[in-house]
């Protein structure tokens, strides 16, 4: 308020207010202006990067005008907002998405073409914003797109890592990690030099008694780091709503102490302090579905959570409402347990700083937060060592102890004498050292807890969080099945398919209401439509074939069946089973006569994905894939019958051209291990079929599209425990086909067998924890069914059309509306044009 222009001068101001370009010429003028002034280049010195930059800056100006309008409208509406706290936002590229969401791509394409450039080439200059590992981070990005497209007043809060997920290079068949420095030129962010928050670590707690007898705890004496806000505009589709993603960057506090050091001549130490401060937001931890428990990671979490809460509370305080109104104005969603400290930090703010009594504060907190769980894998559940935590956040540990005490007392009252229950649900695990179970803290401090697909939400209620269902009742636990944004994953990734659908349905309304895809079903048997449909698939496969040729030198036939598995490499996702299956196919082909071979369906097996740098087994899987590809691709007897390709550095922009090019994609996790999966949805939406297990969202996809249109195989989640038990007692002989594969590897067909010993060992002495052997026969026979089905092109076309027409449920718009209604209790805010 203090910094606003005095009322009498506002008309003048408005007269000069920035305006948006709204046609081709205005766009071109802005592009050239940015190239010539912002970038200080000229028409004699404008390469594709400069032209991309000019176009991006022009687009950014447009977005920021809408951003300002949106923020003003939201302030004026004064409604409840949602804050999505996520350590990862896997955004990918922005230019193409922004052009499409604002529906100006057509004239922008023409505009740059008249200036001498091809839009595809400019789009290709952009560096992916890769601030995430995989599913959880990409889900956050889809959710931001839906929140803006549905005009919800929403903010994302995250960290502005200087290095996103590493770039993957494949050297001699092995993964090598290369740092991803992406901030050289990033036109999509705005540093807010006026928005900073001082964040403290370490120190001690001083306790004293006030005159009225109350006890006050003051956390002080620690080291201070400054959080600086960077804002990223998030444009909705078909609306001017442009929401904000605020990313925090760390830097040394401008406070006293480093300057003192500097002045007293201790220059080196002051530089060290500076670097230490900057280290906090320097790099994204490259682990997906695995907890490592490093101190710097805890620092990142607290830094980000404390800065975000300070910001949220500051915004709330501007409205001068009573604290008890807080949950009516603010919903905070915890994207997995990474931001769970927000529960503790809000308690600290309310109790220590705002002097609310504990119970009032706790009521506010538990009405504000929602917690989404994204995994049941035990190795991924976050636990912090108490000594480490105590040192870094001493006051927060006390608050956690108090939360735990009151919680356990209430459990004790309801379930007297159940000591076992108390120790099972305690936030503190009595191990050595003691650890804090973050998921339990998140459950206790939240109003709602949700899983991300039906099976997953059922599993958390009956396994890892079972005791909490007994304590809190079923109502606290709910399901919100994931979804993906059709803007990026259909319209942007597959413009031809999107245009064909528009032609049939009469408009692009399906991009806002994906259930309208159902209107396609009546064309499923239309021969002309089938042809256009399959022609688009073919062209997308040709484009991928060209990419494969250009980047790997491998020639693949675009008419072959393209079988794709792209996702993080993880034993539970079972890329090892896929490559064992490929080996088995290779062995069968080798054993065939020429005549038999000629009848086989040609296949291209495509893999892609990163292994966490310290995940040795995942790296071995990559090595086996590359080793098999070297042998198979160079076998003249095999030719086009089988090719194996590993796509280097799988990321969002590669997913955008891989999804439209698949005939079949693999989602083959051990049943009960993949919480949802979201690429399964993207592949089907792009006219591909799935081979998959009864796991995660595969089950709901099956229900929607019909079981005739999905290749399901393998054991069910309910049988996994018994099967593992049988392995432990040596009761499971290895599947014969798998045995043959193992023997072939051990013979040295794919190079030095010692390299792959770990993979074989996991199947044998290791007890085959992921049940590869148990599912192998059914996996292979299901692949045979795929081959048969693929031969019948008309039936295949029919099935993919019907499948797409029934995918409406899997839009992230539906997911976000469910969160808004059932968890956040928020309404949209209209933003005028």
Interface residues with ligand OAK (CB under 6 A)? 134-136, 139, 288-289, 336, 374-375, 380, 452, 482, 674-678, 696
Among the options 102, 246, 374, 448, which is catalytic? 374
Return d(Cα 765, Cα 53) in angstroms, integer.
56
Q: For residue 751, is it left (φ>0), alpha (ψ between -120 and 50) or beta?
A: left
End-to-end CA, the chain:
24
Return d(Cα 582, Cα 32) in angstroms, integer.
52
Contact 291, 338 (CB under 8 A): no
Q: CB of residue 679 vs ligand OAK: minimum separation in angstroms?
A: 8
Is-cis flag, bond preceding 433, omega within 30? Answer: yes
With tokens 């009405």, the residue in question is: 367
Output 576 or 679, the one with its CB closest to ligand OAK.
679
Burial 305-321 (b: 16+ CB within 10 A, else e): bbbbbbbbbeebeeeee
User: How would you class 505 by CB atoms within 10 Å of its CB: exposed for 0-12, middle for 13-18, buried for 19 or more?
Assistant: middle
Cα 727 to chain centroid, rounded:
34
Q: For the beta carbon of residue 442, count every other beta carbon within 10 angstroms.
A: 26
Output 588 or 817, the one with its CB closest to ligand OAK.
817
Q: CB of residue 365 vs ligand OAK: minimum separation in angstroms?
A: 23
Output 455 or 742, the one with its CB closest to ligand OAK.
455
CA-to-CA separations, 220 to 207, 217, 351, 663, in angstroms, rounded = 11, 10, 16, 60
Among the options 537, 573, 727, 806, which is catalytic? 573
Residues 6+ apart with CB under 8 A from 152: 82, 243, 816, 820, 826, 827, 828, 829
Contact 813, 514 (CB under 8 A): yes
Among the options 481, 673, 678, 811, which is catalytic? 678
Output 456 or 643, the one with its CB closest to ligand OAK.
456
Return d(Cα 622, Cα 611) in angstroms, integer.
8
Among the options 568, 619, 623, 806, which is catalytic? 568
Output 298 or 520, the one with its CB closest to ligand OAK.
298
Q: CB of residue 334 vs ligand OAK: minimum separation in angstroms?
A: 12
DSSP, res 618: H
Q: CB of residue 143 vs ligand OAK: minimum separation in angstroms?
A: 10
Q: For the beta carbon of residue 688, count every other beta carbon within 10 angstroms.
A: 25
Among the options 491, 682, 709, 798, which is catalytic? 682
Among the options 448, 567, 585, 783, which is catalytic? 567
Return d(Cα 511, Cα 516) in angstroms, integer.
9
Tokens of 310: 């300070």
Q: How many residues are recorded in the chain? A: 833
Q: Which of 292, 133, 384 is nearest to 614 (CA)?
A: 292
Q: Which residue is nearest to ligand OAK (CB)?
A: 135
DSSP, res 735: P
Output 54 or 134, the one with its CB closest to ligand OAK.
134
Q: CB of residue 482 vs ligand OAK: minimum separation in angstroms?
A: 5
Output 168 or 375, the one with its CB closest to ligand OAK.
375
Q: CB of residue 380 vs ligand OAK: minimum separation in angstroms?
A: 5
Maximal C-alpha separation, the chain:
96
Helix, coil or strand: residue 510: helix
Helix, coil or strand: residue 740: helix
Output 414 or 703, the one with its CB closest to ligand OAK.
703
- 48-77 and 105-114 are packed helices; what angle lies between their axes, rounded to 10 degrees? 150
Q: CB of residue 801 vs ligand OAK: minimum separation in angstroms?
A: 26
Contact 130, 164 (CB under 8 A): yes
Output 374 or 654, the one with its CB closest to ligand OAK.
374
* 254 belongs to the catalytic site: no
Helix, coil or strand: residue 805: helix
- 295-317 and 341-348 are packed helices; what angle lies between their axes, rounded to 10 degrees? 50
Output 53 or 146, the one with its CB closest to ligand OAK.
146
Return d(Cα 831, Cα 829) in angstroms, integer.
6
Return d(Cα 427, Cα 689) in angstroms, integer.
43
Q: Which of 82, 138, 825 is nearest to 452 (CA)?
A: 138
Tokens of 686: 């792009």
* 573 belongs to the catalytic site: yes
Q: Which helix (H) or strand (E) holds 235?
A: strand 223-235
365 phi and psi angles, rounded to 5 deg: -60, -50
Q: CB of residue 310 vs ligand OAK: minimum separation in angstroms?
A: 25
Output 135 or 252, the one with its CB closest to ligand OAK.
135
Q: CB of residue 573 vs ligand OAK: minimum separation in angstroms?
A: 8
Q: CB of residue 570 vs ligand OAK: minimum separation in angstroms?
A: 8
Output 100 or 455, the one with its CB closest to ligand OAK.
455
495 phi and psi angles, rounded to 5 deg: -60, -35
Return d(Cα 134, Cα 608) in angstroms, integer.
12
DSSP-H helix ranges across 294-434: 295-317, 326-329, 341-348, 358-368, 386-392, 394-414, 419-425
Q: CB of residue 716 vs ligand OAK: minimum separation in angstroms?
A: 17
Output 188 or 824, the one with its CB closest to ligand OAK.
824
Q: CB of residue 479 vs ligand OAK: minimum separation in angstroms?
A: 12
Q: CB of residue 676 vs ligand OAK: minimum separation in angstroms?
A: 4
**Positions marked active-site:** 374, 567-568, 573, 678, 682
């Amino acid at each position: 308020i203090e910094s606003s222009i005095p009322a009498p001068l506002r008309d003048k101001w408005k007269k000069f207010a920035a305006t948006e370009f709204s046609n081709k010429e205005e766009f071109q003028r802005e592009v050239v202006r940015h190239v010539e002034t912002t970038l200080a280049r000229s028409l004699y010195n404008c390469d594709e990067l400069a032209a991309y930059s000019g176009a991006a800056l022009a687009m950014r100006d447009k977005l920021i005008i809408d951003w300002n309008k949106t923020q003003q409208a939201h302030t004026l509406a004064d409604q409840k907002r949602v804050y999505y706290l996520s350590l990862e936002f896997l955004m990918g590229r922005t230019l193409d998405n922004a052009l499409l969401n604002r529906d100006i791509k057509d004239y922008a394409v023409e505009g740059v073409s008249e200036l001498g450039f091809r839009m595809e080439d400019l789009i290709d200059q952009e560096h992916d914003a890769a601030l995430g590992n995989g599913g959880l981070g990409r889900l956050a990005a889809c959710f931001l797109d839906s929140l803006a497209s549905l005009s919800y007043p929403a903010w994302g809060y995250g960290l502005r890592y200087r290095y996103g997920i590493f770039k993957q290079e494949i050297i001699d068949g092995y993964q090598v990690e290369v740092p991803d420095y992406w901030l050289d030129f990033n036109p999509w962010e705005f540093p807010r030099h006026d928005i900073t928050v001082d964040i403290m670590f370490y120190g001690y707690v001083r306790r004293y008694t006030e005159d009225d007898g109350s006890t006050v705890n003051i956390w002080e004496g620690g080291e201070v780091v400054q959080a600086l806000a960077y804002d990223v505009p998030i444009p909705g589709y078909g609306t001017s709503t442009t929401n904000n993603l605020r990313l925090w960057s760390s830097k040394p506090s401008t406070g006293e102490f480093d300057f003192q050091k500097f002045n007293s001549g201790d220059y080196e130490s002051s530089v060290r302090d500076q670097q230490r401060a900057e280290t906090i937001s320097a790099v994204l931890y490259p682990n997906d579905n695995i907890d490592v428990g490093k101190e710097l990671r805890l620092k990142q979490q607290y830094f980000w959570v404390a800065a975000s809460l300070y910001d949220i509370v500051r915004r709330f305080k501007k409205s001068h409402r009573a604290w008890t109104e807080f949950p009516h104005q603010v919903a905070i969603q915890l994207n997995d347990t990474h931001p769970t400290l927000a529960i503790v930090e809000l308690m600290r703010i309310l109790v220590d700083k705002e002097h609310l009594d504990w119970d009032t504060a706790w009521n506010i907190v538990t009405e504000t937060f929602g917690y989404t769980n994204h995994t049941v894998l035990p190795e991924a559940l976050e636990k912090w060592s108490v000594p480490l935590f105590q040192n870094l956040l001493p006051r927060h540990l006390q608050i956690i102890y108090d939360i735990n005490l009151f919680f356990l007392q209430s459990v004790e009252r309801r379930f007297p004498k159940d000591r076992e229950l108390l120790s099972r649900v305690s936030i503190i695990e009595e191990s050595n050292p003691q650890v804090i179970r973050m998921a339990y803290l998140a459950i206790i401090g939240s109003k709602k807890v949700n899983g991300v697909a039906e099976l997953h939400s059922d599993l958390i209620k009956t396994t890892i969080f079972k005791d909490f269902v007994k304590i809190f009742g079923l109502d606290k636990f709910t399901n919100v099945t994931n979804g993906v944004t059709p803007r990026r994953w259909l319209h942007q990734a597959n413009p031809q398919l999107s245009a064909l659908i528009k032609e049939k349905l009469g408009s692009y309304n399906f991009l806002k209401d994906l259930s309208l895809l159902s209107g396609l079903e009546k064309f499923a048997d239309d021969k002309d439509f089938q042809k256009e449909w399959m022609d688009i698939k073919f062209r997308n496969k040709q484009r991928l074939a060209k990419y494969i040729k250009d980047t790997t030198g491998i020639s693949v036939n675009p008419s072959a069946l393209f079988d794709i598995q792209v996702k993080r490499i993880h034993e539970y996702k079972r890329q090892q089973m896929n490559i064992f299956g490929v080996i088995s196919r290779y062995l069968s082909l080798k054993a065939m006569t020429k005549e038999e071979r000629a009848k086989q369906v040609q296949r291209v097996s495509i893999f892609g994905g990163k292994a966490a740098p310290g995940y040795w087994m995942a790296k071995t899987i990559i090595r086996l894939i590359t080793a098999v590809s070297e042998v198979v691709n160079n076998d003249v007897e095999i030719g086009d019958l089988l090719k194996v390709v590993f796509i280097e550095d799988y990321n969002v922009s590669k997913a955008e051209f891989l999804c439209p090019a698949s005939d079949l994609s693999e989602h083959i996790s051990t049943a009960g291990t993949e919480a949802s999966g979201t690429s399964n949805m993207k592949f089907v939406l792009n006219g591909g079929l799935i081979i998959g297990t009864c796991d995660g969202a595969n089950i709901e996809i099956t229900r929607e599209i019909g079981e005739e249109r999905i290749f399901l195989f393998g054991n069910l989640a309910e049988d996994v425990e018994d099967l593992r038990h049988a392995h432990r007692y040596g009761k499971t002989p290895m599947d014969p086909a798998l045995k043959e594969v193992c023997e072939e590897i051990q013979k040295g067909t794919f190079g030095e067998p010692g390299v792959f010993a770990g993979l074989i060992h996991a199947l044998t002495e290791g007890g085959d924890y992921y049940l590869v052997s148990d599912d192998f026969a059914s996996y292979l026979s299901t692949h045979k069914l795929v081959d048969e089905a693929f031969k019948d092109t008309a039936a295949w076309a029919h099935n993919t059309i019907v499948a797409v027409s029934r995918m409406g449920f899997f839009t992230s718009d539906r997911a976000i509306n469910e969160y808004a209604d059932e968890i956040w209790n928020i309404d949209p805010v209209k933003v005028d044009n």
